[in-house]
Structure 1
Amino acid sequence: MFLLLMMMMWMEVTAIPSSSSPSLSSSRQNSHESLDMRRLLCLLVKRVEGRDGSTCESYPPLCTCVPAWQCRDEGAAEEASGNILSLIVLKNIRCGVTEEVCCVQVDENAPPSTPPLVTPSCGQRNLLGVGSTFEGLEEQQSQYGEFPWTAVVFTEHLLDGFSFQIFTAGGSLVHKRLVLTVAHAVQGFSADQLNVRLGEWNTETETEAIPHQDLEVVEVLLHPDYSGGPRHHYDVALLVLKQPVVLGTTVSTVCLPAGEEDYLPDGCVMSGWGKKNFDDSSKFQEVMKAVEMPLVQHDVCQAALQETRLGPGFLLHDSFLCAGGQKEGQDSCTGDGGSPLVCPLRSDPSRYVQVGVVAMGVGCGQMGVPGVYADVLNAQPWINEVIATKFSGSENKIKGIWQIELHLRNQGSHLPLLMK
C-alpha cells in the first residue's frame, strides 16, 4: 500500500499536466526541470506526512565527494587550534572514502595543505591527525598520520607469471632502516620476498595528502632465542631496509624505553589493520585502527589464560607481556600480528614508547582475556646490539632514546594460542 502511494505521488509530482490545466502546466514544467532526486524525495516525504512541501524548493543542491582540500563550501572546514600539524577539521557529509567530503563548491586544482617542515621526535603521536582532523570516524579508527611509526609488511608472490603482494603483518619503525615485527610472521621468507610500507593509513585508497613510502628489505633478522614450538618465546624480528626512510610528519620512529619506569602502564595503544572480531564475517580494516588498553601484570595474565582452553598447565614465557581484556573488544586481533603496542612516556605523555609487539591470544576481544605481546624490553639488548653493529653515528639515537618497532599476527599456527 505504501509503495502504491509513493508511486502515485511520484506521478503527481513529475507528470506534465494535461492542456486542460494550462496555468499549472507551465509552473509544474519549470519545477520539474530543476527537480533533482533529493528535492523529489523531500516532496514525497512531506506529502506522506501531510506537510507543506514549499521548503523543498530551497533544498541544497547535490554535492560531489572530493578530497577535503578541494572543497570550498562555507563551514566545510575550520582551523583546528592547538596543533600545528592539524590545520583542518572536517564538518561535512561523510562519503564512502574516509578522507573525502561531500562538496558543492569544488576546486579541482587545489593542492592538499602542506604540513610545516618539522624534525620529528621519536614517539610523537599526532592526536589530531596530519593536515586534517576527520570527524565522524568509526569506533577505534585512527586519524590520518596519528601513529607515524606503524608499518605494513607485504610478501611478494608469483602466480602464473604475475607478481602480487599480500598483506602479511604489521610493524614499527625503530630506526630509519629498521622495522620491528614478529618472528612467526616472517620466518620462512627471504628478504627479497618482503616489502615494507610506511605512511599508510587507508589501504583502499591513495588519496592521502602525503604519499606513503614503499621500501625493499635486504635482511631478515630473527631473535637468536626465538622458538615457535610449544615453549613459544622471543617472537620478534628486525627487517633491515635497503634505503633509509624519509622522516616527516607521517613517517617517524617510535621510542624504545630504557626501563619500565620510563612509561605509564595505562593509556597504552595498539595500532594496525587487523580484524575487529574473531569470526568469519569480520574483515581486515581499511583505515588504521587504534585500540586503547592498559597493561596487565604477568601473573594476572597467566592466571586468566589458564582459565581458557589453554588449561591450568599453561605457562606464559617471560619474553611476553599482556594488555587489554578489561572490556569487550579491548584487544588486538587476527591480522594485527607484529603491530606495535605503545605506552605514554612518563616524562612527556604526548610521546610514546613501544613496549610490546602483537603476538598471539585466545580469540579476540573477550572480557577477562588479555592479549599476548612480545616484550620489547626483554628483547632490547638484542635490538640495541643490531643497531650498534649495523649502524653508526648520531642517527642511532633521537633525543637520547633508542627507536624500535614491531610486526603482525597471522593465522595457521599449530599452537593452542592463536598467532595473530
Structure 2
Amino acid sequence: MFAAKKQGFNADETEVGVKVTVSQEYAREGQFPWTVVLFKNGRFLGGGSLISERVVLTAAHLLVDISKEALSVRAGEWDLASASETVDPEERNVSSIELHEGFRYSNGVNNIALLYLDRPFELNDFIRPICLANREWPSRPNRPNHPSRPDRCQVAGWGKRSFSDPHHSNIKRQVKLPLVDRESCQCLLRRTPQLGQSFELPENMICAGGEYEKDACVGDGGSSLFCSLDGEFQRYEQIGIVGWGVKCGQQDVPAPYTDVSKFRDWIDRSLARHCHEPLIDCQYMVPRKL
C-alpha cells in the first residue's frame, strides 16, 4: 500500500507523508515540556516525548537503519534557531534503541519505538515527562472521579507549517485536533484516491484531525498526540504517536496515530528489560505550575 521512505510512508512522494504541526499558533516557551527533538548526526530528524528522565517514546519509522551513535535527543527546546532562550535546552546521547518487532513500513502498523538515554535529564519546568494513556483508555467510561475521553487533543512539534513548505519550523508549534472514531476515520480515508476502498485501518491506530488547515504535517513523525486530563490544562496524557497521513490539513481527511494504550504491555516489558522503574500513572501526576 505504501512504499517505504526514510521519513515516512509514501504511495506517492507528493501525497502521503510523516506528520508535524501546521497550526498558525506557536507554543509558548516552556509549554508542553515533554516534547523533545531528535537529531541524526546533528541534523533535525523528528520528534518524540519524554516519558521518564531517561526514556523517549517516538515512532519506529524514524529510526530504521540508524545507529544509536548517530542519534541525540534535546529537551527543553523552543526555538531551534535561537541560542538565548530563557532556559538552555539539554542534550543527551542514546545508549539503546528499541523498535517494535512487528513494525511494518508497508502500512505503518506497530509504529512505535523507545530510546534509552546515556544519562537522565535534569527535570525542571521546561523539561518534564508526560504520562501515558493506560490500557482501558479506548473504553474509558464517563463517570465521576474517572478520566473521561475528550473530544479534542493536541500535537506540538517543529515540523513544516504546510505540506508544500520546504522547511520545518524553528519554533515549536501546536494544533488542536478533533478525535475521530475508527469507523468514520476508515470511511473517510477510503474516499481518498491515495488509499481507496480497500484500505483497512489497523486495530492499533486511532484517528484525529480532518479540519481544513489544522493538522500535523510532513517532517516530524514521533511527536505526541496528547489530551488534557479532565479539563485540567496543566495535566496531560499521551494517547497517540504521530505517524503518517494523506497530505496535511485537508477537510474530512483525518490521520491515523499509533494508539499508545494498545502498547502499554510492550512498553512495560521493554522498561523491565532495561531495569527501569514502572511509569507513573496519570492519576498521580501533579499539575504543573506556570
Query: Which protein, 1 or 2, shows the higher relative CO under an 8 Å CA cutoff with sep ≥ 6?
Result: 2
- 1:199 paired residue among 47, 51, 76: 76
Aligned to 1:294, the other structure's residue is in SS state strand
d(CA) in 1 for partners of 2:174, 2:96: 29
Counterpart of 2:88 in structure 1 is: 211
Q: Which has the higher strand share?
A: 2
* Structure number with larger C-alpha Rg: 1
> What value does the CA root-mean-square deviation take over the aligned residues?
1.9
Report the counterpart of residue 127 of structure 2 in structure 1: 251
The one of 23, 38, 47 aligned to 1:170: 47
Match of 1:374 in 2: 258
Mapped contact 2:131–2:282 kept (Cα < 8 A): no
Q: Give the letter for the 2:51 counterpart.
A: V
1:386 CA drift (Å): 1.7
Range 255-264 or range 235-244, more displaced: 255-264
Q: Distance in 1 between matches of 2:258 and 2:282?
A: 25
TM-score, normalised to structure 1's length? 0.58
> What SS class does the counterpart of residue 300 from structure 1 fall into?
helix
Match of 1:189 in 2: 66
Instruction: Tell me if 1:234 matches 2:110.
Output: yes
Distance 1:139 1:347 in 2: 23
The CA deviation at 1:204 is 0.5
SS of residue paired to 1:397: coil
TM-superposed deviation, 1:278: 1.0
**Secondary structure in 1 matching 2:269:** helix
Residue 255 (structure 1) shift: 1.0
Q: Which segments of 5 or more consecutive residues in structure 2 lack a partner in the other structure?
A: 1-22, 141-146, 286-290
1:296 aligns with 2:170: no
CA deviation string 1:390-419 (max 9, x = no partner)? 2345x74267659xxxxxxxxxxxxxxxxx
1:347 deviates by 7.4
Deviation digits for residues 56-104 of structure 1, max 9, x if unmatched? xxxxxxxxxxxxxxxxxxxxxxxxxxxxxxxxxxxxxxxxxxxxxxxxx
CA distance in 2, matches of 1:324, 1:188: 30
Distance, in Å, in 1 between the alignment partners of 2:148 and 2:158 is: 25
1:264 match: 149
Say which SS state the counterpart of residue 270 (structure 2) adopts. Answer: helix
Q: 1:397 aligns with which of 280, 286, 289?
A: 280
What one-letter code is carried by the residue in structure 1 that aligns with 2:116?
Answer: V
- Which of 72, 94, 100 does residue 223 from structure 1 map onto? 100
C-alpha distance in 2, partners of 1:206/1:267? 34
Structure-2 residue corresponding to 1:343: 227
Runs of 4 or more consecutive aligned structure 1 residues displaced over 6 Å after TM superposition = none
State the alpha-carbon separation in 1 of the partners of residues 281 and 182 from structure 2.
Answer: 30
1:299 to partner: Cα distance: 1.2
Percent sequence identity is 35
Q: Distance in 2 between matches of 1:288 and 1:232?
A: 25
Structure 1 match to 2:167: 283
Deviations 1:280-303 (A, max 9, x none): x45311110000112111111111
The alignment status of 1:139 with 2:24, answered yes or no, reads yes
Cα shift at 1:265: 2.6
Kindly indicate whether the alpha-carbon contact (under 8 Å) linking 1:263 and 1:343 is maintained by their aligned counterparts in 2. Answer: no
Q: Which runs of 5+ in 1 are unaligned?
A: 1-137, 157-164, 403-420
SS at match of 1:278: coil
Counting helix residues as a fraction of each chain, which structure ranks higher? 1
TM-score of the pair, normalised by structure 2: 0.82
Distance change >3 Å, CA 371–CA 139, structure 1 → 2: same
Retained in 2: the 8 A contact 1:338–1:357? Answer: yes
Shift of 1:346: 2.5
Match of 2:158 among 273, 279, 283: 273
Aligned-pair CA distance for 1:173: 0.3
Question: C-alpha displacement at 1:365, in angstroms?
Answer: 0.4
State the alpha-carbon separation in 2 of the partners of residues 401 and 173 from structure 1: 17
SS in 1 for 2:120: coil
Residue pairs, 1:10-49, within 5 angstroms: none
CA gap of 1:314–1:180, structure 2 versus 1, over 3 A, is same
- CA distance change for structure 1 residues 353 and 399 in 2, over 3 Å: closer, same or farther? closer
Q: 2: distance between equivalents of 1:401 and 1:167?
A: 34
Q: 1:153 aligns with which of 15, 28, 38?
A: 38
Q: Against the structure 1 CA distance between its residues 235 and 401, is the aligned structure 2 distance closer, same or farther, given a 3 Å change threshold? A: farther
Deviations 1:241-280 (A, max 9, x none): 000110110000001122322453323110001112111x
Residues in 1 aligned to 2:86 and 2:158: alpha-carbon distance in whole angstroms: 20
